[in-house]
Amino acid sequence: MKDTIETIGLIANGERVETISRFEVRNPGTGNVAGYAPDAGQDELDRAVSAAKAAFPAWAATSDEERAAACNAVADHIEAHAEELAQLITLEQGKPLGGLGSRWEIGGAVAWARYTAALCLPMKVLQDTNEGKVEMYRKPLGVVGSITPWNFPVMIAVWHILPALRSGNTVVSKPSPMTPLASLRLVELMNELLPAGLVNSVSAADGAFNMGAAMSSHEDIAKIVFTGSCGTGQKVMQSGAETMKRLTLEMGGNDAGIVLPDADPQAIAEGLFWGAFINNGQTCAAMKRLYVHDDIHDAVCEALVAYASNIKVGEGTLEDSVLGPVQNKAQFDKVARLVAAAKETGQVLLGGEPGEGLFYPPTIIAGLGADDALVYEEQFGPALPVIRYTDVEDALAQANALDVGLGGSVWSSDKDEAKAVAQRMECGTVWINGHGGIQPNAPFGGVKKSGFGVEFGEEGLKEYTDIQVIFS
């Protein structure tokens, strides 16, 4: 595996775009330079958008079959380059290659690409009577701007780019400056197959020029699909207002898990752990607060801690690492701050002390309540607060008290009872005896300040279209 990647280029109209400067990307596992990414500005953005705009009419006119074939070809090409992409992700994101790490992320990207290829939105006849015919068409929007975060750089880019292409749009893709390398390579790979201009890339350091903001207000971008934090998503919405952009906003959450008194602590321990600690907790729909009934509170904590104690944390390239480092210093500091405050009121059951560099061990803290910042703030890292409750109505009220609502879970031996509780949770997805397992055929999105719009499945595809009705 290479230690440092030379600059991966931007692509506009199928051609590599050179920038005057580039920025360093750090490997969070070693602190070393992982590679360099182009530091683009307004000119490069305009060039990418112009290329996408010019390519749009011909692509929008292609048949469903052609677009499906192109998406399948992209899936095959990602699969053929799976190991290269996985290694890039590990290098810049830090997650392990194995387990639920980089190779798994690429597997997910391929599965989503294929499923998206198979979707379609045919014209629908709404009425066909003596009074006339009414047909509803789904039409592509134009240029879609994709803005992605640093936690699943390739999979989330695929979630944005593939449905945009499948429905006849063209794309400008912007990765997070924390993890640009694998996503830029993904766009290079797509350009080996697709007509010029369909997928273009821009990347920029966090600096005076804000590429995401420039995209969100760009005259020639019709839609922004954004995955990231609530605060940034709100800025996207503000910047997009003037040009009346279509938006899909997949933002932060603070998912609650509620363990009912009839759950089996031993049986659910592994699911609870992975629900909370997948990708080191740096997952939008990870379980970020755990409410456990008093009757089984201690047994659940014991079983969870026993499972978590065996999890090896280490550099992503080491075969025995199960979890990697926290991806960046700001996120690491946030986790450290929230844990330090939680330790003042709660009991540390596991972890609780920062490790070397950006490594932070899985941390479980019990004895916390609604007033603790680790409970009401999204930690987005490997620290889980456990809250004891006696009345399920109270647990539900606490779970629903926050202004975000991405996912949630209910843990019980009685599925029907769990479903009744699930339906009262204020969030976009609820899992019974699991947490965070998304799949390409199930629409996924947040309620309240977690955003709006959904991704995946037919409902997700519709978000890349406008409706046109023809009366004849």
Please, which residue, 148 or 398, has the CB nearer to ligand NAD?
A: 148
* Residue 280 makes contact with ligand NAD by CB under 6 A: no
For the question of residue 92 being annotated catalytic, the response is no
Q: Give Cα 435 to chain centroid, integer Å.
A: 15
Binding-site size, ligand NAD (CB under 6 A): 27
C-alpha dihedral sign at 318, 324, 330, 336: negative
Tokens (6 digits) for 247: 């938006």
Q: In the complex, what is the shortest distance from the CB of residue 71 to ligand NAD, in angstroms, rounded to a whole number?
A: 21
> Between residue 58 and residue 117, which ones bind ligand NAD under the rule CB under 6 A?
none
Helices 82-93, 153-166: axis angle to 10 degrees equals 130
Q: In the complex, what is the shortest distance from the CB of residue 176 to ligand NAD, in angstroms, rounded to a whole number?
A: 4
* Residue 254 makes contact with ligand NAD by CB under 6 A: no
Instruction: Pick the binder of ligand NAD from 169, 232, 317, 409 (CB under 6 A).
Output: 232
> Between residue 171 and residue 230, which ones bind ligand NAD under the rule CB under 6 A?
174, 176-177, 210, 212-213, 216, 227-229
Please, which residue, 36 or 59, has the CB nearer to ligand NAD?
A: 36
Residue 252 neighbours by CB under 8 Å, 6+ apart = 228, 229, 230, 284, 378, 380, 404, 406, 450
Q: In the complex, what is the shortest distance from the CB of residue 252 to ligand NAD, in angstroms, rounded to a whole number?
A: 3
* Residue 252 makes contact with ligand NAD by CB under 6 A: yes
Q: In the complex, what is the shortest distance from the CB of residue 224 to ligand NAD, in angstroms, rounded to a whole number?
A: 8
Q: Give Cα 43 to chain centroid, integer Å.
A: 28
**Choosing from 44, 105, 250, 463, which is the catalytic residue?**
250
Tokens (6 digits) for 35: 């590679």
Residue type, 165: L
Please, which residue, 77 or 245, has the CB nearer to ligand NAD?
A: 245
Interface segment toward ligand NAD; rule CB under 6 A; list 21-29, 67-75, 147-155, 264-272: 147-155
Beta carbons of 398 and 389 less than 8 angstroms apart: yes
Interface segment toward ligand NAD; rule CB under 6 A; list 67-75, 84-92, 115-123, 250-258: 250-258
Q: Which residues bind ligand NAD (CB under 6 A)?
A: 147-151, 174, 176-177, 210, 212-213, 216, 227-229, 232, 235-236, 250-253, 284, 378, 380, 406, 446
Residues noted as catalytic: 250
